[in-house]
Amino acid sequence: MPSGSLIEARGLVKSYRRAERSLPVLRGVDLSVSAGEFLAIMGPSGSGKSTLLHILGCLDSPSEGRYVLDGRDVTQLSDRALSRIRARHIGFVFQTFNLIPSLTLQENIALPFAYADLGDDFQARVQRSMAQVGLAERRDHLPSALSGGEMQRAAIARALAVGPKLILADEPTGNLDAGTTRDILNLFASMHAGGATIIVVTHDRDVAAAARRCILLTDGVLSGA
C-alpha cells in the first residue's frame, strides 16, 4: 500500500437480490484515496454512488473485493466492529441532514459521542464544532427552527465533532440553493485545509469543481480513478 493512503479498495463488487435474481450494482471498483485528499464522485442516478459511499463508510460490506481503511482490512469485520470504526473515524453528511427532530442542536451534535465512547471532554468538542459552522448561538434550538442551510451546517458540525479521519458526504447540497451551497463549500474547504480527507458524491458541478480530484461512476464502474 502506498504510504499516506487512507483508502485502498480493490475489485469491489456489490450485488443485491431482487426477484430471485442477483443485481450487480458495483462491478469491480478500484479506488485509492490518500490522507488529506478532497475527492468528488459524480455519475448518473442509479450508477451506485451511494452504494459505494456506504461501503467506504463501513455502513455496508462488499459482496466481493477487498477494502483496506487506514491500513486495516475491514472487508470481513462484524457489524459491531464496523460500527466502532464508524463512530470513531468517519463523519457522514447526508442530503436530507438526518437530524433528530426532538433533540436540540447541541444534543444532535453530541449524539455520535454516545457511540464513540471518547471520554469526558466531548462537551467542549461539541461547542467547538458548533462554533466552527457558525451555529454557537443556536445550540438550544430544535432543527425545525433552522433553515435548510443551517440544518446542513449542523449536520456538518455533527460529522466534525468527533474529529474523524474521513468525511463522507452524499449530495450534501442537493436540497440547498446556490448561496447556501457556497457556504457549505466554504466549510468543506476549511475542513480540507485543516487536514480532513473528504469524499463527496454530487450532481453539482460547482461542488465537484471545489474538489481536487473528480471521478465518474457509470453502471458500477469507475473512470478517472
Ligand X SMILES: Nc1ncnc2c1ncn2[C@@H]1O[C@H](COP(=O)(O)OP(=O)(O)OP(=O)(O)O)[C@@H](O)[C@H]1O
For position 50 contacting ligand X by CB under 6 A, the verdict is yes
Residue 5, judged by CB atoms within 10 A of its CB (0-12, 13-18, 19+), counts as middle
Single-letter code of the amino acid located at 116: A
Cβ 53 to ligand X, closest distance in Å? 8
Residue 84, judged by CB atoms within 10 A of its CB (0-12, 13-18, 19+), counts as middle
Select the binding partner of residue 46 from ligand X, Mg ion, none (C-beta < 5 to 8 A, by kind). ligand X
Q: Using the rule CB under 6 A, which residue among 7, 12, 42, 47 binds ligand X?
A: 47
Cβ 46 to ligand X, closest distance in Å? 4
Under 8 Å between Cβ of 184 and 97: no
Cβ 213 to ligand X, closest distance in Å? 18
Select the binding partner of residue 47 from Mg ion, ligand X, none (C-beta < 5 to 8 A, by kind). ligand X
For position 134 contacting ligand X by CB under 6 A, the verdict is no
For position 48 contacting ligand X by CB under 6 A, the verdict is yes
Q: Using the rule CB under 6 A, which residue among 29, 33, 42, 49 binds ligand X?
A: 49
Q: How far apart are CA 16 and CA 11, in angstroms?
A: 17
Binders of Mg ion: how many residues, by CB under 5 A?
1
Select the binding partner of residue 45 from ligand X, Mg ion, none (C-beta < 5 to 8 A, by kind). ligand X
- Considering only the stretches 46-54, 86-94, 106-114, 116-124, report the one whose residues sit in contact with Mg ion under the rule CB under 5 A: 46-54
Calculate the alpha carbon distances from 2 to 8, 32, 51 in Å.
9, 9, 25
E strands of 101-186, at which residues?
166-170
| Beta carbon nearer to ligand X, 45 or 144 | 45
Q: Taking CB under 6 A as the rule, which mask of x and - marks residues 18-37 in contact with ligand X?
A: x------x------------
Calculate the alpha carbon distances from 204 to 6, 43, 62, 65 in Å.
25, 11, 27, 30
Q: Quick one: angle between helices 105-116 and 79-89, nearest 10?
A: 130
For position 50 contacting Mg ion by CB under 5 A, the verdict is yes
Select the binding partner of residue 149 from ligand X, Mg ion, none (C-beta < 5 to 8 A, by kind). none
Residue 147 CB contacts under 8 Å (≥ 6 apart), including other chains: 180
**Residue ranges in contact with ligand X by CB under 6 A:** 16, 18, 25, 43, 45-51
